[in-house]
Chain A
Amino acid sequence: MLAVLTDPAFAGFLSATMRLAVPILLAALGGLYAERSGVLNIGLEGAMLTGAFVGFVTAYATGSIAVAVPAAIAAGGLFGIVLAFYAVTLGANQVVVGIAMNLVAVGVTSFFYRLIFGAGTDRPRIDTLLPPDFGALADWPLIGPLLFRQDALAFLALALVPLTWFVIARTRFGLDIRAVGEHPEAAETLGVNVTRVRYGAVAISSGLAGFGGATLSLAATGVFLDGMTAGRGYIALAILILGRRHPLGVLGAALLFGAADALQLRAQILPTGLPFQFLLMLPYVLTIVVLAGFAGRGGAPAALGVPFRRLKKD
């Protein structure tokens, strides 16, 4: 049993699990803010792609990941404000807005990528962020590969789990978010500005998704590819359901998906006899299974997906 824990292949699997969980963890934590405030943020996918693109371009131009990450978060946040204008101010169908915004993100990122870098065959690269050397800590069983072989962005992402819990459960803003998500009319009566809270929640939501997207281009690959998020924003929505919109639950669910992704990467090398395409399907099939198993279980904020119309005086 102990031999398994220190096995290099198993350690590699664990470290890949965490690495692959980070982008979807960030997007799902973002989705948590929006959904708890009653807004279904289908735009997580587009915000991730925007963040991946802006993060990449900024890192390419400045050579600094410390500049690129805030830029990606800001770009995601801006994306979220546009989405909130539709979903909150106009009260448009949140699913339609989300899909449309995601399609726009695909077009805008690939348009400006070609504009900046041309359509040439040699793809510009940036130096990816490497994990710091933790020395012997990296060899600790379980914790070593899970934590001490990760880069700084992964630590930031993990730190956001307790922070998100604190904000939602212990701050005035978090209380407002929950009130607005459960009963916007009552919250409004008590003097909470529903519109402002939802704008804030959606902007944070998409900003975190932008951060998650930036980890793909800055840490995981060092390049930007059209549509490189490959549905991770939608997977994050499933993670929210599985994690019951609670930060710790979301962390657990994100690790499960990271593990599925890591497993398919490993299994492609190992002689499993399974065609590689079936392994590639694994995270998507897992998402479907999770939705089928947990979707009907409730726990969603009462006002989720319902636009709020302020009561008129007349």
Chain B
Amino acid sequence: MGSMNAILARLPAGLAGSVAAVLAAFLVGAALIAAVGVSPVTAYAALFEAALGSANGLAETLVRTVPLALCGLGIALAFRAGVFNVGAEGQLFVGGAAAGAIGVAGAGLPSIVLLPAMALSAMIAGAAWSGIAAVLKLRFRADELITTIMLNYVAIHLVSFLLHGPLKDPNGALAQTARLTSDGRLPVLLGGTRLHAGILIVLVAAILAHLFLWRRTEGFRLRVVGLNQRAALNAGMNVRRAVLIGFLACGALAGLAGFSEVAGVQRRMIENLSPGYGYTAIIVALLGQTSPFGVVAAAFLFAALQIGATTMESAAGVPSTLTTVIQGLVVLFLIGRDAIPLIGDALARLGDALARLGRKSA
């Protein structure tokens, strides 16, 4: 259990790093708000009041947390295996299309059969889509970073074709599936809000991912492969298997996010299912230090930011895209923490130089 202890000892430092990065990003965000001519305090107050200050706001934030957390968990597992799978966006779309198709085709089935069937098909579809990049990497050594991004574009066009064609609601004019019957929808948890059972799926997924990483041999192998592939090979581990698991887990979880958006929010498959959840989730995974519970916390923070930003725009006149800036800055500050000793060195050198100068003139 040595490694476990080492990780636990490291955890507070990791957490402090994440918190510091978030605070620094918010500070820069405040400067940008001030540049617009608005008081940062007013703008941030409007933002968090809207996201967390009421039952409905909190419910909306939790609804937004679901896709970010599920995609983030998948990306975190892939990162742990050393796989830079940035294809969650496409995997989410493919999963949503599968869930929508099964949901429409299975209308009339009881909820207890239909919902699991939709979820399972979404996970299989997402994993299969991610599996394409896995095969390309393992068989052809094609870099997954580029292939998964390209597959995102392909997936979005493919889903668009399906929604204009085979999956289109025959009684509607828009490119979307027919509306799901109530048996194909995730139950609402809090009356009067849109909070749906997807948040429970997130909690279960996070616990399972945690147990997998820290309590299963397979999860241990995954982490070793991600940390040091050569060491894993020397220890006789099946590196290709761990890499494949990283790809498939990411695809399945992103596909599940697609299911949750279809069955919990949209109640049908639509063309613009995601405004880039799969990309934001990359930052979520990094901010959460690729630990499952950290990922859920990071997803909640970014969800609050996104939900509150709309209100901030209408109340304070700050463009809501400020959130995208803050999200990106969080990562830059997170990976830039190594600069702190460098800056310290530079300041010390500057101090020395000034002191020498002072001695000379004295």
A288 to B140, CA, bound (A): 11
Are A291 and B146 in contact, CB atoms less than 8 angstroms apart? yes
Map CB proximity to A onto B134-172 as digits: 1 under 8 Å, 0 otherwise.
001000111101110111011001101100110000000
Q: Which one of A51-59, A94-102, A121-129, A169-177 is at the B interface?
A: A94-102
A interface: dominant SS: helix
Kindly identify which residue among A119, A275, A280, A296 contacts B140, using a CB–CB cutoff of 8 Å: A296
Is the CB of A165 closer than 8 A to any CB of chain B?
no
Map CB proximity to B onto A84-110 as digits: 1 under 8 Å, 0 otherwise.
011001111101110111011111101
Expressed in whole angstroms, the minimum distance between the Cβ of B82 and any Cβ of chain A is 11
Is the CB of A111 closer than 8 A to any CB of chain B?
yes
Q: Which one of B186-194, B253-261, B331-339 is at the A interface?
A: B331-339
A119 to B150, CA, bound (A): 30
Expressed in whole angstroms, the minimum distance between the Cβ of B226 and any Cβ of chain A is 12
How many positions in chain A have a CB within 8 Å of any CB in the partner chain?
A: 45
**Chain A contacts for B84, CB-based, 8 A:** 95
Kindly identify which residue among A90, A119, A277 contacts B338, using a CB–CB cutoff of 8 Å: A90
Is the CB of B116 closer than 8 A to any CB of chain A?
no
Is the CB of B48 closer than 8 A to any CB of chain A?
no
Kindly identify which residue among B157, B319, B332 contacts A281, using a CB–CB cutoff of 8 Å: B157
A56 to B160, CA, bound (A): 30
Residue of A nearest to B133 (CB): A288
Within 8 A of A (CB), among B66-82: none
Are B335 and A277 in contact, CB atoms less than 8 angstroms apart? no
Are A295 and B141 in contact, CB atoms less than 8 angstroms apart? yes
Are A90 and B150 in contact, CB atoms less than 8 angstroms apart? no
A115 to B84, CA, bound (A): 34
Is the CB of A311 closer than 8 A to any CB of chain B?
no
Is the CB of A130 closer than 8 A to any CB of chain B?
no
Is the CB of A230 closer than 8 A to any CB of chain B?
yes
Within 8 A of A (CB), among B316-332: 319, 321-329, 331-332
Kindly identify which residue among A85, A93, A99, A231 contacts B153, using a CB–CB cutoff of 8 Å: A231
**Chain A contacts for B329, CB-based, 8 A:** 104
Is the CB of B362 closer than 8 A to any CB of chain A?
no
**Chain A contacts for B158, CB-based, 8 A:** 277, 281
Residue of B nearest to A107 (CB): B324
Could you give 21 example pairs across A and B, Cβ below 8 Å? Answer: A92-B336, A99-B86, A99-B282, A99-B331, A100-B328, A104-B328, A107-B321, A111-B322, A111-B324, A114-B319, A114-B321, A231-B153, A234-B149, A234-B150, A281-B158, A284-B150, A284-B153, A285-B150, A288-B142, A288-B147, A295-B143
Q: Which residues of B contact A (CB under 8 A)?
A: 32, 36, 84, 86, 136, 140-143, 145-147, 149-151, 153-154, 157-158, 160-161, 164-165, 279, 282-283, 286, 319, 321-329, 331-332, 335-336, 338-339, 342
- 8 extra A-B contacts, CB within 8 A, seeds A96-B286, A103-B282, A106-B328: A90-B336, A90-B338, A104-B329, A111-B322, A114-B319, A237-B146, A284-B151, A287-B146
Q: Which residues of A contact B (CB under 8 A)?
A: 42, 85-86, 89-93, 95-97, 99-101, 103-108, 110-111, 114-115, 119, 230-231, 234-235, 237-238, 275, 277-278, 280-281, 284-285, 287-288, 291-293, 295-296
